[in-house]
Amino acid sequence: MKLISTGSALCVVGVVLGSAVGWRAEAAAIQGTSLTSRTPRRGGNPEAAKLQNPVAGTPESIAGGQRTYKLLCARCHGIEGRGDGGGAGAGGQPADFTDAVWDFGGSDGEIFMAIHDGTSADMESYAERLSQTEIWHLVNYLRTLHKR
């Protein structure tokens, strides 16, 4: 009796873990990045949230982020960050950075990881196109678009 209930409890844990890992493995495969504990997750990822932003949100940092944003991001997310750039060819809805919602978590670390790893066929990984410092500048810039 005891053995059976332990077995079924283990089984439930296995199914829950299995589906969580499966979902993340699938997301990483779409993005072409390797699966880590910080892989972006819809609803947020506490491990990614632990990453500290090493770049202060100075006017210089924000201006640098804005330059990169105009070059690489505005075509989908829109010049004002409203998600209305129209460039998402794979059918995704680019995030609106002016609303209060962060689908992949609103901490600096989670926003960093969404840009670094990517989240979908449209929202690709920028790990090979941008340095980590450039991504932190983007995080600092995106924060200025966000309504308080």
Dihedral sign, Cα of residue 32, residue 133, residue 92, residue 88: negative
73 binds ligand HEC (CB under 6 A): yes
Distance CA 66, CA 127 (A): 18
In three-state secondary structure terms, 45 is coil
Dihedral sign, Cα of residue 117, residue 64, residue 107, residue 81: negative
Over the window 103 to 122, marking each residue x when it contacts ligand HEC by CB under 6 A and - when it does not, the resulting string is xx------x--xx---xx-x
Query: Per CB under 6 A, which of residues 126..145 are in contact with ligand HEC?
Result: 126, 138
93 binds ligand HEC (CB under 6 A): yes
Distance CA 32, CA 25 (A): 10
76 binds ligand HEC (CB under 6 A): yes
CB 35 to ligand HEC: min, Å: 16
* Tokens matching residue 10: 């283990």
> Which parts of this chain interact with ligand HEC (CB under 6 A)?
72-73, 75-77, 87-88, 92-95, 102-104, 111, 114-115, 119-120, 122-123, 126, 138
